[in-house]
A and B are shown apart, each in its own frame.
Chain A
Amino acid sequence: MLPKLLSRWPLVRQIQTGGDGTGPEVMTERTHTLGPRTNGAQVARSVCPYCGVGCGQLIFHKDNKLVSIEGDPESPISRGRLCPKGADSFELLTHPHRELKVKYRRPFSTDWEDLDLEVAMDMIADRVWKSREKSFVETQDGQSLMQTKAIGHLGGATLDNEENYLIKKLFTGGLGMVCVSNQARI
């Protein structure tokens, strides 16, 4: 018992090994078994969401939680490297200022209030429907117009291709919205 206890005292190990107090004799269990926290994590292949270079990212996750985001060494574009923004992607997704709840601002109100997501979706659909009904023009000078100019859309160029596809399809192809624009100009 006592020898065992004593052997946990680095000083004893130091005397036994003759070490100078900077080597394995003074390392703790934690240090001996140190390893990256990505050990045992699952990996998703991803792409950096910042600029247009399209660097490969590996997203390490465990139990539905993000663990770390790193460059993907296999990417022929980025070869595993990331810029400061790309390197900060983990913080982008996990920082405390990220909003997680719907916020609603009533007309003339001075503050936000909470709103249920499904209720918000219904309300937005109602607003779209009403504005469209009011403003939709089917024909002009006897020619087909099928257009509403009362509703606009401005999209960021970080939305996925599939997202853009649905936006264009629904807004332009379905609703007849023409005021549809994007950061992408050229």
Chain B
Amino acid sequence: MSTTAFLTDSTLCIGCKACEVACKEWNQISEDGYEWSGHSYDNTQAVGHSTWRHVKFVENPVEIGLGGNSGEQLPAWGFSSDVCKHCEVAGCLEACPTGAIVRMEFGAVFVQPDVCNGCSYCVVSCPFGVVQKNEEDGRAFKCTFCSDRQKAGLAPACAKACPTESIKFGNLEELRLEAQLRVKELEARGIHDAVVYDPLDTSVKGIHALFLLRGDPRSYNLPPHPEVPTTYMKKGWTSAAIAAGVMLGATLLAFLGERR
């Protein structure tokens, strides 16, 4: 089976949140609470254990005459549907001590709910703040990439529901290419601020949920340089080894002095 991926194209997203609901319906996840945030129309705030797809709303200056498809300025209202990135090198996957998190044959990073023990080490290992422990249930949850559906050859629920094909689902390399072509196409249409978010040059080595956005990805809470925490490990273990050695030496030395 080839590696599958999402390409979430913000220039086609109408912010309807169908993905968010379709995801919750299919995966039978509970609501997030009924808090009004005042952050434009975004009341679910971020992906987490009970929100696996999440639509972000970004407001920019408005000008009479200009719709969001105009290239003259950033769209006055931008939407982008966030999701687990299913990183090429995934922090959560590396960190999981139980083997609960696995890489499926189609590349998804999947938390096996029957194994996860809720150690929540994955929570602090995700550079995108995706995976989260459900405190009531005691286990960690995140987007499964609809692995149950994918196993049967079905598209993930969010991509299927998306009314405007803003969420494309398909082969990773094909979508990577498509994203580049789309940026070129937008260029040709006079939209010069479109970018593809796919951190290939960081230790994450690319993601399986690509995003096409207009403007700075940081407005959409996407980090410029996400790093997999394992990159820090070498330094850490070296330093731990030295510390252990020094500690052993110092102890021996201290007691050696007491030898009669």
A/B: CB atoms within 8 Å of each other: yes
Residues of A with Cβ closer than 8 Å to B?
A: 10, 21-28, 30-31, 34-37, 39, 68-71, 73, 78, 80-88, 90-91
Partner of B18, one of A26, A35, A82: A82
Q: Which A residues are CB-close (under 8 A) to B18?
A: 81-84, 86-87
Task: Please give me the residue from chain A that is nearest to B144 by CB atom.
Answer: A34
Q: A103–B148 Cα gap in the complex (Å)?
A: 42
Residues of A within 8 A of B154 (CB): 36
Does B225 sit within 8 A of A, measured CB to CB?
A: no
Given contacts A71-B161, A82-B161, A83-B18, whether A28 and B149 have CB atoms under 8 Å apart is no
Most buried by A among B18, B93, B103, B110: B18
Which stretch, B5-13, B21-29, B64-72, B235-243, touches the partner chain A? B21-29
Q: Are A31 and B152 in contact (CB under 8 A)?
A: no
What are the 10 A-B residue pairs with the smallest beta carbon separation, nearest first?
Answer: A26-B99, A87-B22, A84-B21, A87-B21, A81-B163, A84-B17, A84-B18, A34-B148, A82-B161, A36-B149
Q: How far is the CA of A23 from the CA of B149 in the complex (A)?
A: 19
Residues of A within 8 A of B151 (CB): 34-36
With a CB–CB cut-off of 8 A, which chain B residues contact A86? Answer: 18
B160, A80: Cβ atoms under 8 Å?
Answer: yes
| Identity of the chain A residue whose Cβ is nearest the Cβ of B55 in the assembled complex | A84
**B16 close to A (CB within 8 Å):** yes
Task: Kindly supply a per-residue 1/0 record for chain B positions 86-102, scoring 1 wherever the CB is within 8 Å of any chain A CB and 0 otherwise.
Answer: 00000001101001011
Which residues of chain B are within 8 angstroms of A78 by Cβ–Cβ distance? 163
Q: How far is it, in angstroms, between the C-alpha of A10 and the C-alpha of B163 when the chains are bound?
A: 42
- Complex CA distance for A91 and B96, rounded to whole angstroms: 34
Tell me if B20 is interfacial: C-beta within 8 Å of chain A. yes
- The reply on B112 being an interface residue by CB < 8 A is yes
Q: State the Cβ distance, B23 to closest chain A Cβ, in Å.
A: 9
Contacts of A10 in B (CB 8 A): 99
Find chain A residues with CB under 8 A from B110 CB. 31
Question: For residue B149, which residues in chain A have a CB less than 8 angstroms away from its CB?
Answer: 36
Q: By the criterion CB–CB under 8 Å, are A83 and B16 in contact?
A: yes
Check A23 against B102 for contact (C-beta < 8 Å).
Answer: yes
| Smallest CB separation, B28 vs chain A (Å) | 9
**Is A91 within 8 A of B162, CB to CB?**
no
The answer to whether A35 touches B112, judged by C-beta atoms less than 8 angstroms apart, is no
Do B102 and A68 touch (CB < 8 A)? no
Partner of B103, one of A22, A87, A91: A22
Known contacts: A36-B148, A84-B17, A87-B25. The answer to whether A27 contacts B163 by CB under 8 A is: no
Nearest B-chain residue to A31, judged by Cβ = B112
Residues of A within 8 A of B152 (CB): 35-36, 39
Query: Hey, which chain B residues are within 8 Å of A90, CB to CB?
Result: 25
B148 in contact with A81 (CB, 8 Å): no
Report the minimal beta-carbon distance from B141 to chain A, rounded to whole angstroms: 15
CB proximity to A under 8 Å, residues B32-71: none
Extra contacts, 20 of them, besides A28-B112, A81-B161 (Cβ < 8 A), are: A24-B105, A26-B102, A27-B112, A28-B115, A34-B148, A35-B148, A35-B152, A37-B148, A68-B26, A78-B163, A81-B18, A81-B163, A82-B161, A83-B18, A84-B16, A84-B18, A84-B20, A84-B21, A85-B21, A90-B25
